[in-house]
A and B are shown apart, each in its own frame.
Chain A
Amino acid sequence: VQLQESGPRLLKPSQTLSLTCSVSGGSMNSGDYSWNWIRQSPGTGLEWIGYINSGGNTNYNPSFKSRITISLDTSKNQFSLRLRSVTAGDTALYYCARGIHPVDRWGQGTLVAVSS
C-alpha cells in the first residue's frame, strides 16, 4: 500500500487548507484500518491531527477539533483533510498515514506554508 498527499502548498492566513491522500496498492475498505493526518514542524515536532476509519468514524485531536474535518471517499480510494482559519502556526509538513498501532504506512509528505 502506498499513500500520496496532494493539495495547495501556499495559503494566506484565514484560508482553508485542503489536502487529499490517494491510496494505491490496496482498497481502503479491506481491513479495519484507520487513516490519519499527521503534521511535522520544527517548532512542534510530530503532531497527530486526527483519523477516519473505513466506516467513516472520526477521531480528532482536541487541539484542532473546532477547525478540522476529515472525510472519506472510498469510491476514489481517497481521504481528505480540511483545516479552517489557518495561521502561520499551521505551516508544516503534512503526512497522511495508515494505522494507529502501529502507524505502518506513511505518505511522503507535502509542505504547506501559510504566509500573507
Chain B
Amino acid sequence: DIQMTQSPSSVSASVGDRVTITCRASQDISTWLAWYRQKPGNAPELLIYSASRLEFGVPSRFSGSGSGTDFTLTISGLQPEDFATYFCQQANSFPLTFGGGTKVEIK
C-alpha cells in the first residue's frame, strides 16, 4: 500500500494568515492526489484533485502543487470556515489511501 504522510499534524493560525500543509507519498504517484477539508461533524469535502485542479465552487484561496512524492496545499487568507482538518488522498493505485490529517486551529 502507498503510505501518505502529512505534516504538520496541527497548526495554529489566525484569520487572514497563509497556511501551507504538506503531504508525502511513499512512492511516485504522479499527480494522482486530492485534498479534502473536513469541518467538525461533517463529511470530508473535495477541494483539489489532480494535485492542483480546483474543484468547481471551491474558493480560489485554496491552491495545490506538487508531483511525484511531494505535494502542498496552501490556503491564502484563512477564513473562519477554514478552521478544520485537511486530508490528502492518493488515487495512483489501489487500495486508495489517505494522509493522517492536519488540524488547522485558531491561534
Contacts and interface: CB of A to CB of B under 8 A. Distances in A.
A95 B49 CA distance: 20
A108 interface: yes
A109 B40 CA distance: 13
A102 B55 contact: yes
B57 to A, nearest CB: 11
B45 interface: yes
A61 interface: yes
A45 B101 contact: yes
B98 A46 contact: yes
B73 interface: no
A67 B101 CA distance: 27
Interface residues of B, number: 22
Contact of A104 (B32, B55, B96, B101): B55
Contacts of B87: 45-46
B44 A106 contact: yes
A61 B96 CA distance: 8
A63 interface: yes
Interface string A80-116: 0000000000000001010011111011110000000
Interface of A: 36, 45-48, 59, 61-63, 95, 97, 100-104, 106-109
30 contacts: A36-B96, A45-B87, A45-B98, A45-B101, A46-B44, A46-B89, A48-B95, A48-B96, A48-B97, A59-B94, A63-B95, A95-B43, A100-B91, A100-B96, A101-B32, A101-B34, A101-B49, A101-B50, A102-B34, A102-B89, A102-B91, A103-B46, A103-B89, A104-B49, A104-B55, A106-B43, A106-B44, A106-B45, A107-B43, A108-B42
